[in-house]
Structure 1
Amino acid sequence: MFQPLPLAIGLRYLRAKRRNRFISFISAASILGIIIGVIALITTIAVMSGFQREIRDRLLGSVAHVTVEGAGRGLEDWDSVLAVARADARVVGAAPYVRREGLLSGARTSAALVMGIVPGEERSVSELAARMREGRLEDLREGEFGIVLGDQLALMLGVRVGDRVNATLNEFTSTPMGAMPRSRRFTVVGIFSMGEHTADSSFAFVALGDAQRLLRLGGAVTGVRVKVADLWQAGEVARHLAVRLGPEARVSDWMRDNRNFFSALSMERTVMFILLSLVIAIAAFNLVSSLVMLVQDKQADIAILRTLGLTPRQVMAVFIVQGSVIGVVGTLAGVLGGVLLSLNLGAIVRFIEGLVGHELMPADVYYITGVPTAVYPADVASVAAVALSLSFLATLYPAWRASRTDPATALRYE
């Protein structure tokens, strides 16, 4: 179909100045529509990917990649679990923890998730030490009953560093007056901000020994948190640890624990891709209109080419070439514009904020400053493939119409 002669004629028609300016306008609108559609789709997908990456990174700053917990009340032999985990070359850190739900009372009362940790080992599995806004993580010393709060939790409790809070945990002790919850007064020694709402509004950290003493766990812990070098290998590491540790340990990974959340984000991204693809489809319909009118305008030329020996397939190829080149030009320009806009969107937003004197994404509302973007080659290739496919399909009907032109009828009044 795509012989040199149809290709040459199709390219010639693109360079030729058309008699009908309206057809030229429709063709230009088609190219512009494809460019705008591709730019919008690439930029939107890049922003959604950026937010997804930002949320994932902030979530994993407070949540372990892999978690090993005891099947019963606690994990007694947690030293051996640490040894098995650290023996894996993919593991970069492992640390024990104690976890209990409870109530914290300061000027006000709020529910919280109290975590007992070893400050020195916590650095290897989370970003808590780097996220401290006030105080230091090392200020959690065993026996001093200090506590580190998320900034939103401290705000809800109405406390600051140096204030005291009463922790009432979800653990009961039998007394002559009945079951009484275990409680203890702690001193706030630090405040952190992970940039993730759940962690900042509900997490509180105490020294591991203080948590064990308060809950009367002896030497047991709730579990061990493990960090891997490649977070996408967390599932494989979890399966490996489950085999090595046996049925007495329950092993989970971050992908399994947060599957519903990330599935919802992925579904939202897919739906947005489909919806914005309709913009490119509209541009493709404009391309159909442009080519149909062009075919009508070139009836005499088509008839002459037919009488000179051009076959219907070659005539069809002429207009497929013309429409495909329009689609390729629009797609390439759109891809270039979309990638450049995505890579510089953060700077553009900051420039607009400077002009209007107003922050478009306040950190206290969105917990993310600026507009994060992530441009992945696979996403760009998918958008380009959609645009090229729709542009090619848009050429088929007008080209078929051109191939059905009867030379005698077309030349009757010429």
Structure 2
Amino acid sequence: MSYEWWIGARYAGLAHIGRGGRRGDRFVSFVAASSMAGIALGVAALIIVLSVMNGFQTQVRDRMLSVLPHIEVYVPGADHEQVLAHWQDLARDARRDPEVRGAAPFVAAQGMLARGQGLSGVQVRGIDPSVEPHVSDLAGQMQSGGLDSLVPGSFHMIVGSQIAQSLGLTVGDTVLLLAPQGSISPAGFAPRMRQFTVTGIFSTGYYEYDASLVFVDDEDAARVFRDSGVGGVRLRIADMQRAPEVAHRLLGLMPPGVQATDWTQNNRTWFAAVQTEKRMMFLILTLIVAVAAFNLLSSLVMAVKDKQSDVAILRTLGSTPTEVARIFLVQGALIGVVGTAAGVLFGTLVAYNIDVIVPWIERLLGVHFLPQQIYFISELPSSPQVGDIVTIGVTSLILSLLATLYPSWRASRLQPAQVLRHD
């Protein structure tokens, strides 16, 4: 090991860990340890926060797609009963794309549920229970009842858990479904309404859907909403991330007038907001690492000031300005590398075990960090991404190395004669 590396490691506090040392060495080591801790905390915070945001996005997306299809193909303005009678034709055209794995008919409309004095606006989805498992995981989300209860002509309904709670519904209760269309009579406007029997309750864990979605048989939905909403085919594809591409291709395989929308379009605002928030959070938390890098710069400047006598002696013994600069480059680089490595290790451990750590803190403090009504989910998720961790680590190392340049240059500019004369 060259002497620049040995002296740089000693100044960084790594050459005499666990051993005694001069008072000046202990002071420099303390400052170096503070800089390492600052970098480690900044890196760990950035990894944990981005992992939680990734987990939040993945969790909500998966829960949404447990009851929603990847792609919807529909004919705007078409008669729903006619669409249901020929939905196999649309499904056959869609299956010409190799990505399509399943198809099922649907009718979608807006309505309102009424029971006693309670009212709730809902999104009504008419489905065929025999083929619905091909495009969604609704059957696995059932808390009570089952999809097979949706028999044509029975006017049965499966409601979300939050709707059931707000309206006080249980299996076997009846509820009135009001359609936005109606008829005009001398007595005024009379909305179209139909009584349904609740035969099932589902829970996705995604509050917005549990509080707004209801499922009925597609033929019953077509009768109630014959003049509103849309009807078509729900599709599931092999790779959900390719849904926009597949939806665009399907338009070329379908008859004129058919439209296709994917899950990213139907939830575009929410996902755009999450991506923007993630980018801004990365920039904001990177400032923490930048502050730690400035702390490293100041600690190196202090080290140069404290060790200027040592530098002067090295210069009189024949060390060149480049070799002196290399000493402090090694010191700053070691602090940056060790701090970054510690931060990556600590942040990754927390990110992978946050499902255990957060409940323990909640029990300890007696609080609940994520009210489901606000954050859509009740547990803090985490999904560490290797790309994010590598980006954070590289960013921290670059900032740390940049922080060493000025102190190293200052050390190389010290004049031995002036320093030793004042000592």
Q: Same fold (TM over 0.5)?
A: yes
Could you tell me which runs of 5 or more consecutive residues in structure 2 were left unpaired when the two chains were aligned. Answer: none
1:248 aligns with 2:251: no
In the TM superposition, residue 189 of structure 1 has moved relative to its aligned partner by: 0.9
Q: CA deviation at 1:368?
A: 2.7
Distance change >3 Å, CA 403–CA 247, structure 1 → 2: farther
**Paired residues, what number?**
410
Q: Secondary structure at the match of 2:177?
A: strand
Q: SS of the counterpart of 1:123?
A: helix
**Which residue of structure 2 aligns with residue 11 of structure 1?**
9
Correspondence 1:27-176 to 2 at 5 A: 27-74=32-79, 76=83, 77-107=86-116, 108-173=118-183
1:6-61: per-residue Cα shift (whole Å, max 9, x none)?
44442354426454243322111111111111111111111121111111111122
Contact 2:175/2:197 (<8 A) preserved: yes
Give the aligned partner of residue 239 of structure 1: 248
TM-score, normalised to structure 2's length? 0.89
1:274 to 248, 273, 283: 283
- Residue by residue over 1:47-86, the C-alpha shift from the partner in whole angstroms, topping out at 9 and shown as x without a partner, is 1211111111111222221111113335734322111223
C-alpha RMSD of matched pairs (Å): 2.4
Q: Distance in 1 between matches of 2:160 and 2:45?
A: 38
- For residues 231 and 126 of structure 2, the distance between their equivalents in structure 1, rounded to whole angstroms, comes to 9
Asked whether 1:409 is paired with 2:407, we answer: no
CA offsets, 1:87-133, max 9 Å, x none?
A: 33322211111112122211222221222110111111112111111
Identity of aligned residues (%): 45
Maintained 8 Å contact 1:18/1:24: no
* TM-fit CA distance, 1:361: 4.3
- Show structure 1 runs of 5+ residues with no match: none
**1:301 aligned partner, one-letter code:** D
Q: How does 1:149-298 map to 2 (within 5 A)?
A: 149-173=159-183, 180-216=190-226, 222-298=231-307
Measured after TM superposition, the shift of residue 341 of structure 1 is 1.0
Q: AA paired with 2:34?
A: A
Relative to structure 1, the CA distance from residue 73 to residue 40 in structure 2 (aligned partners, 3 Å threshold; closer, same or farther) is same
Q: What SS is found at the alignment partner of 1:352?
A: helix
Closer/same/farther in 2, CA of residues 18 and 400 from structure 1, 3 Å limit: farther
In the TM superposition, residue 303 of structure 1 has moved relative to its aligned partner by: 2.4
**1:343 paired residue number:** 352
Taking the aligned partners of 2:217 and 2:348, their CA distance within structure 1 comes to 48
Structure 1 stretch 292-301 or stretch 176-185: which is displaced more?
Answer: 176-185
Query: 1:159 is paired with a residue of what secondary structure?
Result: coil
Q: Which of 14, 19, 28 is the aligned partner of 1:23? A: 28
Moved more, 171-180 or 270-279: 171-180
269-278 or 26-35, larger mean C-alpha shift: 269-278
Distance in 2 (alpha carbons) for counterparts of 1:191 and 1:271:
39
Deviation at 1:284, TM superposition (A): 1.6
Alignment of 1:309-324 (within 5 A): 309-324=318-333
